[in-house]
Amino acid sequence: MSTKKIREIYFSPTNTGRIIADAFSSSFNLIPSSLDLTRDKGMGEHTVLADELAVFALPVYGGRLPAIAVERMKRVHGTGGPAVLLVLYGNRHYDDALLELKDLAEDQGFSAVAGGAFIGEHSYSNSTAPVAEGRPDKKDLSLAAEFGVSVQKKLGLLSSPDERKDLKGLKVFQPPVIPGNSPYKTWTPPEGIAPETADTTCILCGKCVAACPVDAVKIEAEQVKTAAASCIMCSGCVKSCAVGSRSWNDPDIQKISDWLVATCISRREPELFL
């Protein structure tokens, strides 16, 4: 059996991970499909067959993977097939998140073939406090596509079938060495805070409701209501609001934004591990 399909599996509330996974996959001549864990709130289990290349893309929260994304990843089961691990971070650092993703994918039955840490516009970036604004940009997207070609070479997908070495029709490959610490750093997110809606400008279109990965946002009695206790602070609702009515007004987030603008402005570049 050889690799015939490519399956993007992502948790991506503000879409930067999905965009990088798409750019990466665009260089492959394989049948594409995707599993969006951002919207996958049910309890279904998913199996990825050994003839599929899994491309995982998850964001970095506090130098780690978001707990909810890890929970959803545990319902995705590999059967020994290859996996590419991508994390997106907002120009501060990815710390232990890529290593955590590699370990998680291996625990779930995948064979790690390559990893990449890409930069996405920070979830708390806005026009007055821009951080990694507009990333991933053109340069990031072409790097992601070139990385796709390197992974195809590593897997032997660009060589003739006779040159491939093992029963699954892939070259035998070494797992990538991914930087990070084990045990991973600890990160405790603040609790009970959430973005707010300006009722005077909100047009009740429901985009914020659809964007929320944890159903914390609802429209009730012609008003947007947010269950702050459930909010994972991903900013999906803020960035999806077409009329700019949804924003962060919490002082903790304001402090984080100010700190990011003061210390994380120099452009970082993607790091790739093969």
Residue 208 touches ligand FMN, criterion: CB under 6 A:
no
Q: Which of 270, 269, 13, 6 is nearest to 113 (CA)?
A: 6
Residue 197 lies near ligand FMN (rule: CB under 6 A): no
Whether residue 31 contacts residue 6, with contact meaning beta carbons closer than 8 Å, is answered with yes
Residue 59 touches ligand FMN, criterion: CB under 6 A? yes
Which tokens belong to 176? 């990538």
Return the residue of 7, 72, 102, 122 that touches ligand FMN, per CB under 6 A: 122
Task: Based on the shown chain and the rule CB under 6 A, indicate whether residue 25 belongs to the binding site for ligand FMN.
Answer: no
141 binds ligand FMN (CB under 6 A): no
Which positions from 251 through 270 interact with ligand FMN, judged by CB under 6 A?
none
- Count the residues of the shown chain that bind ligand FMN, applying the rule CB under 6 A: 25
Interacting residue with ligand FMN among 24, 28, 56, 89 (CB under 6 A): 89
Tell me which of 8, 17, 65, 102 binds ligand FMN, using CB under 6 A.
17
Q: Which residue is closest to ligand FMN by CB?
A: 120
* N- to C-terminal Cα separation, the chain: 23
Binding mask 218-237 for ligand FMN (x = CB under 6 A): ---------------xxx--
Contact positions toward ligand FMN, by CB under 6 A?
12-17, 59-63, 88-93, 120-123, 189, 233-235
